[in-house]
Structure 1
């Protein structure tokens, strides 16, 4: 293994462990399957060596490439190509029941046909074709068939007898114990094609006998009428109970629907991507719609058709940075469902329900106009763009700092990209990173949440461990010093407290524990971390400038309440208690605390103007605060310059509602503030029957 660097374990199976590794000679990622042959039976060892034999015989762009094998520590190590796009099964699961277009199905299927043709030409049966063993490249456009562990090399055009493979994909002749040949692979490929068209398996049952019975009967639900009759017929022919009546690969390739897919596949190789020309409305409409409109011809008729479009699953609004009222941002597709948003000084990011991360790009966002006479309220063209190189992972959480972003996969793997200033990316250096890169120091942990400040980051694991890195002055990292770190460092926390969420401010940090306690570290200027010792009567007995380790907040009223949410601005903080009350503390020169304060008072208070509402979320910008009630109402207060409050108001310490012009009832899914910007994700409230579009 001296030629390779292990990155992480990506899978475990009956025969061993699968590692993602980096080849040191060219920094290329590879997969190494580690098979402990010492502990195996003779048959199991033979199966492992068989995979090496089969892989070495195959060379095809649609088959996982074999590089080498060697023995180490009593284990057989098989080195092969890494498919960054994950498995076809994962891809289908992430569709969230949205059917694939027939063109995409046939593009995948054509590549499977070509790879299986190559396999059969070598007198090899795969014997375990399934969506779990079909892999995709980084862009999820190229198919790679893998896992030849139980493949059989036929000495002639004879038949095999051993019952192997995944039960849901085994052929009827296998169920009966009859000999089989390449036609069983055709059956399994037919099952995969059915799965591509329906997003579910052709044959499933609660137990093996029931499954065998279903396969023997050959009955399965028809695919959607959305697809062509030719595709339905192809699936039926490949899943014929009689193997003799199933088409072979050459016959399948000769079918017109497949010929077209094969031609498109070859002509698309090496093509240069270009922007699609928008078709006129008349040509984009279905024929039946055009015929209905042709006799009426009025603009109202076209409007009636357009108004019948399905209800949007999500909307995202933005204000600030010179935009005085909430504007709706474009989404990548009409059915995008946003689960979380985050905004930094210049960037805006969102995570979708199916695990995609995208950002909105605009050259004008967050910059002061330098052109005399420029219109202050001009809205820049925000353009959504998916994160590159993310096709192999599902993102579930995102946090934006100043010029950098951290995102978290559903497997607890942390990735960062953007500016490497102050070591904020956690890669052990100050280098900028364009595409999201794994924070390798945390690969041995399952990270559950991450928070980015202006120039530092905190992360918490599923075992309540906290890590910090980036800029360290004021003690904001909680490491007991003011040093800066370019890699994640473990943060000491009292044994009796178990952090479950982390929150970064500009020059301070906060933790929330499982029992709803609040811990703070860093700069306590204006008592924004609530660390001054203040009695119930409001008298401050000890003023704390900064602390370098996390300290529990005990001063009233924060220390007397159970806290479930927290947000930090430049010089103030807002928290939400378990019973839905909003408290603020820190500087109040722009009214960002939501109430009048005495000049000498540093004690936090409840925002009484909101006490009749149950607050569920808070967010803080530089000099303003935003709160969301359980009923979906959004309130803002503080400094109003450059549209910070989402209204054309003057500075106000009184919380006022943010109005979304022309919008119906919705539920707030996520909210984020940074500097002078606010980003809000919503979804339609069920039962209203109203559309957000």
Structure 2
């Protein structure tokens, strides 16, 4: 590595680490794959050396170029071309659901064909074609196929038998364990072409057996009629179940629709673009000022970059993601007003009443096989909720494997797992599309909250309903029973509930006059049910089965503005802007690096000179957003909980959102070790786009 300088790790695979590196002599960037070989078996070493053998045989503009390999620190180092434009998968996700033009699809596809033709001409099977392994140049116009770590060199007319590749893209013959040849690469390329035309994979399922069944049946969603019949027929032919009926690569290239794209590559790509000349406004005819003229003049305003301001941004971190990543939105016009996250779900509500959620691949499409590279960050695809036509969604709440959404007319709908009766339909059945909770028809629900396994809802008449698991008395119904349909909760007569909050094993209600009611597990006095005064603790309450006013001083004397429940701690924001924390400070989640008195509330003084806008609690961490848009996190930092690579922070620290304009936080949601945060730009902040 004397000739190279490592910059950062850009990927990790089963057999090695991938570094972005700079050559010292000319500062040119390269990718260096580092594969430790000392502890590998003979077969594993041969698999590691296979990529070098394959790459050295290939020389094509649309294939990642191989430069050299060498041994260092008992590892094989493979030096390859760097593609700064990212992967094709990244590019498709950046579309935010907007379909590509057919011309652009064919431009990419033609380059893939040329590269695959070169590979097959060397009697090589790629065996892992997918959008993650197709890279782009800086302008995202030129395709570069990479990752030949599991490619196989065939003898003439031979077939391969080893079952390798990414599950979503493997062919039916691979699923059946039959021998295969170049036609399996044609299948995978057909899957990539389908993905270009639909922005989603052809074959996906929740489990590997279900995925294999889908592939062997050849069942996938129809291709949009936005595209020509020729393109749709081409995709269908490449995804034929019988490999003998799939077209050979030369037959594909001979089709008229593909020939035109190939001609474009050889005649237009790489040509020098013409620069439009902007004439001075004073030299233009008066009738054309401010608009384009028939002679092609353009006003200076038209020649300036266009100012585009994003209406919303949604960030996510935690679950192994150490810094905030921006999630794709369904479109550039999407304006998010509320978000919610559960153990496995991430959901959002738009200003115009649409509900969507982010899907991550159900089956891991990064195969743990030699030479493959794992993505550094998870992949999320926004999908609108099915069956919400003519319904305006006002609010969404996520539990564990289930969701509840509220319409603008106060109708509550739920869907997902029916375990623990959390859907409120009177049974334990799962529901795939949002279904009305019939027991609450006739009530106007104004807010709903989901815990891990229970739900609370409050109406415009200040009635509270609860259902799901009742352990620890979390439902406030006076017992620990499980209920599969909404049950009305008894509330003290002089209190009018206006908001509800569910935790893992407890619940909170904030009343109209800013008082706090609690029930469930009061471990570490996280609910403030102990009778605590300045001179000590009078009464300890470990568990409460009915909603009871908090008794801990000073929480029982202040006006409550907002509250958030974590696993073993609670955040309480007063009407005066003071932040109090209750529960355990084992991981610093209460925001103090001092030894706190057990079961006593802690007043967080970090924010005394600023106003907190939103507060949220995860399992062992806390997130707060200030009125000026700054975001602070504290608590346990493992697996990215704090949005930065720290193990723990006992005091609030500001979170950095690199390269972003100032914003205002509109909604935060935490669940377990994950955070979802929605923002909108501050007035007068603009993003300049060429």
- Give the TM-score band, short-chain normalised: 0.5 to 0.7
Q: Is the 8 A contact 2:306 2:688 kept in 1?
A: no
| Residue aligning to 1:434 | 432
Q: Which residue pairs with 1:472 in the alignment?
A: 470
Aligned 1:175-574 pairs, distance under 5 A? 272-274=222-224, 294-296=273-275, 308=306, 310-363=308-361, 378-537=376-535, 539-574=536-571
Shift of residue 605, structure 1, vs aligned partner: 1.5
Q: CA deviation at 1:650?
A: 2.6
Q: Is the 8 A contact 2:577 2:612 kept in 1?
A: yes
* 3-state SS, counterpart of residue 559 of structure 1: coil
Q: Which residue of 2 aligns with 1:660?
A: 657
Does the Cα contact within 8 Å between 1:557 and 1:605 map onto a contact in 2? no
How big is each residue's C-alpha offset from its partner over 1:380-408, in whole Å with a ceiling of 9 and x where there is no partner?
22000000000120001000001100000
Q: Tell me, in whole angstroms, the C-alpha distance in 1 between the residues paired with 2:371 and 2:600.
A: 44
**2:530·2:551 contact (CA, 8 Å) conserved in 1?**
no
CA contact (8 A) 2:306 2:689 kept: no
CA spacing shift, 1:600–1:584, aligned 2, 3 Å: closer
Q: Equivalent residue for 1:620? A: 617
| CA deviation map 1:441-496 (0-9, x unaligned) | 00110000000000000000000000000000100000011111000000000010
Q: In 1, Cα distance between the equivalents of 2:622 and 2:303?
A: 42
Cα deviation for residue 648 of structure 1 reads 1.2
- Whether the aligned pair in 2 keeps the contact of 1:312 and 1:692 (CA below 8 Å) is no
> Following the alignment from structure 1 to structure 2, what is the Cα–Cα distance between the partners of residues 374 and 346?
26
**Alignment match, 1:603:** 600
Alpha-carbon distance in 2 for matches of 1:532, 1:384: 44
Determine whether 1:578 maps to 2:575: yes
Question: Deviation digits for residues 208-251 of structure 1, max 9, x if unmatched?
Answer: xxxxxxxxxxxxxxxxxxxxxxxxxxxxxxxxxxxxxxxxxxxx
Aligned equivalents of 1:644 and 1:510: distance in 2? 24
Q: Which has the higher contact order (CA 8 A, sep 6+)?
A: 2
1:512 counterpart SS class: strand
Q: SS of the counterpart of 1:638?
A: strand
Change beyond 3 A, Cα 1:350–1:658: same
Q: Is the 8 A contact 1:634 1:658 kept in 2?
A: yes
Question: Relative to 1, partners in 2 of residues 1:526 and 1:373: Cα closer, same or farther, differing over 3 Å?
Answer: farther
Unaligned runs of 5+ in 2: 1-220, 232-257, 262-271, 278-301
Q: Secondary structure at the match of 2:310?
A: coil
- Whole-angstrom CA distance in 1 between matches of 2:623 and 2:367: 26
SS of residue paired to 2:643: coil
CA drift of 1:596 comes to 3.7
User: When the two structures are superposed, what TM-score results if normalisation uses the length of structure 2?
Assistant: 0.56
Equivalent residue pairs, number: 407
Aligned to 2:668: 671
In the alignment, which of 677, 685, 689 is matched to residue 688 of structure 1? 685
CA-based RMSD = 3.1
| CA offsets 1:77-116 (integer angstroms, 9 cap, x no match) | xxxxxxxxxxxxxxxxxxxxxxxxxxxxxxxxxxxxxxxx
1:554 positional shift:
2.7
Shift of 1:425: 0.3
Q: Is 2:305–2:688's contact at 8 Å kept on the other side of the alignment? A: no
Shift of the alpha carbon at 1:499? Answer: 0.3
Q: Distance in 1 between matches of 2:419 and 2:499?
A: 25
- Alpha-carbon separation, structure 2, partners of 1:452 and 1:572: 17
Deviations 1:3-50 (A, max 9, x none): xxxxxxxxxxxxxxxxxxxxxxxxxxxxxxxxxxxxxxxxxxxxxxxx
Query: Distance in 2 between the 1:671 and 1:350 partners?
Result: 11
TM-score normalised to the size of structure 1? 0.55
Runs of 5+ consecutive residues of structure 1 not aligned to the other structure:
1-270, 283-292, 299-303
